[in-house]
């Protein structure tokens, strides 16, 4: 996944966090009555679905659930005011 793609997706998430459009699923994760737990629960749910797809060797479902994990992880980062550059810097550092 390119840095630009992650930055673009994160920018959309940040915009939804700021503008909170009524018809936005992303905005609903920021305004949900459960608060932060809504996005955390979705991240956990998607992680479980990802693991099950891997267990079943379902490539299509694995890609789908992997995308869901990345998306919900970015929402949780945004909720916690962790900038995308912090994530990218950490990944670059690990790459060496």
pLDDT in tens, 33-74: 666 689 999 999 999 999 999 999 999 999 999 999 999 999
- Range from 6-10, 28-32, 60-64, 85-89 carrying the lowest mean pLDDT: 28-32
**pTM of this structure:** 0.91
Q: How far is Cα 6 from Cα 70, in angstroms, rounded to an integer?
A: 9
Q: From the CA atom positions of the chain, what is the Rg in Å?
A: 14
Residue with tokens 């840095």: 3
Q: CATH number, domain at 70?
A: 1.10.287.1080
Number of structural domains (the chain) is 1
Tell me the HSE value of 2 on the side-chain side, using a 13 A CA sphere: 3
Enclosing domain of residue 61? 3-95
Which own/partner pairs from 41-50 qualify as long-range (CB within 8 Å, at least 24 positions apart)? 42/72, 42/75, 43/69, 43/72, 43/73, 43/75, 43/76, 46/72
């Amino acid at each position: 996944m390119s840095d630009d793609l992650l930055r673009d997706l994160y920018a959309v998430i940040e915009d939804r966090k700021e503008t909170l459009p009524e018809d936005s699923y992303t905005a609903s994760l920021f305004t949900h009555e459960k608060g932060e737990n809504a996005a955390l629960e979705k991240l956990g749910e998607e992680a479980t679905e990802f693991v099950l797809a891997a267990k079943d060797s379902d490539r299509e479902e694995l890609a789908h659930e992997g995308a869901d994990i990345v998306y919900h992880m970015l929402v949780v980062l945004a909720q916690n005011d962790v900038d995308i550059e912090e994530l990218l810097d950490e990944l670059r550092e690990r790459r060496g």
